Amino acid sequence: MGSSICSTLVELGELGRLSKSMKKLSKELKGTDKHKNEQYRAKLATSNERTLALIKAAMDVVVVVGLLQLAPKKITPRVTGAFGFTTSLISCYQVHS
């Protein structure tokens, strides 16, 4: 559980840092098509990867809460299974790409 929470916090921090960097680059590229800039596209791709990792980490927290039965009325075994299946699909996608 601690690992999932820490991963969520790390991804939030990295997305915040990356967002600031992208805004700065966007200001520098004002007047041009920023999507044609290689550096901007690389940062956008990194941002997409980090966002997916954040979603997976947050869903992992829900799975852990379900498995530990910390909120048994709100997070049922069915919800835990659905979130677990989804995080497994995300992990497969991340390994493949």
Mean pLDDT, consecutive 10-residue stretches, the chain (97 aa), reads: 93 95 89 86 94 96 95 93 97 92
Residue 95: both structure tokens together: 């390994």
Q: How far is residue 29's CA from residue 47's CA, in Å, rounded to a whole number?
A: 18
Residue 94: both structure tokens together: 């991340």
Identity of the amino acid at 36:
K
- Which residues 6+ apart lie within 8 Å of 12 measured at CB? 54
| pLDDT in the model for residue 36 | 87
Proportion of the chain in helix, strand, coil states, percent, rounded to 5: 80, 0, 20
